[in-house]
Structure 1
C-alpha cells in the first residue's frame, strides 16, 4: 500500500504547484485584476492539499529508504531540504502576501517583485520535485537509467 501512496502523494505537489504557477502566469498575462485577485486568493487554500501531500511523500520516502542514503535515494534526500525550505521560506509567505495585496487591489511594484520571486521559486520547486519523481521511477525500473 505504501508503494502506491508514495507516488500518488509525490505527484500531488508537482500538480498543485504547477497549477498555482500556470494559473498565476495566465491570469497575469491575459486576465483582469479581479481574476488575478481571485487566483491569488484561491492559492492559499491549495496549501490544505499541498502541505499534507509533501509531508506524506517525505515520511513514506524516509520509511521506504530504511536508512540508506547512497545512489538515487541519496540524491533525492539531498533535494528535499531545498524543496522544503523553498516552500516554507519563500512560496507560502509569498502566496499569503500576494493574496493579501491582491484582495486589497494593491498591484504595485512590491506586488510584482514578490510575484516574480514566487514564480522563480515555484519553477525551482517544480523542477526539483520532477527530478525526484524521475529518480523514483528509475529506482522502480519504470525508466531506464542512463549510463554515466
Structure 2
C-alpha cells in the first residue's frame, strides 16, 4: 500500500495543493472549517508529512546527531538525557549514533556514520568521543 501524499489530500478535499499545504502546516489564510476538513481527510488517508522534504524546502534542519561510544554506558545515558532535556523546548529531534557497538570500537563504522550524518544534513553533530583523523 502506497503512502498518502499531499496531492491525495488535495484531490479528496477539492482544495488546491497550496491550501492543503498551509492547512497541514498551520499556516495563515485557511478558514477554520476548511482546515478541519483537510486535517480530518489527511488523518483518514493516513497522510504523514515528509519532514525531510519539508526541511529541504525550508533550508532548515531540525535534527541533531549525537555520536557516542557504547551508548549503554551510564555516563552516555546521562549525557543523552541532558542533551535531550536541553533540546526538547525547541522540539529538535535527537539521533543517536553508536560507533562502539557492544563496546568494540570500529573505525570503519565511525567513518560510515559520519559520512551518512553529513549527507543527511543534520543541523548539528555532537561528538562525545575524540574523532579520528582520516589518513
TM-score range, shorter chain: under 0.3
Report the TM-score, using the length of structure 1 for normalisation. 0.23
Could you say which structure has the larger radius of gyration?
2
The structure in which a higher percent of residues are strand is 2
The structure in which a higher percent of residues are helix is 1
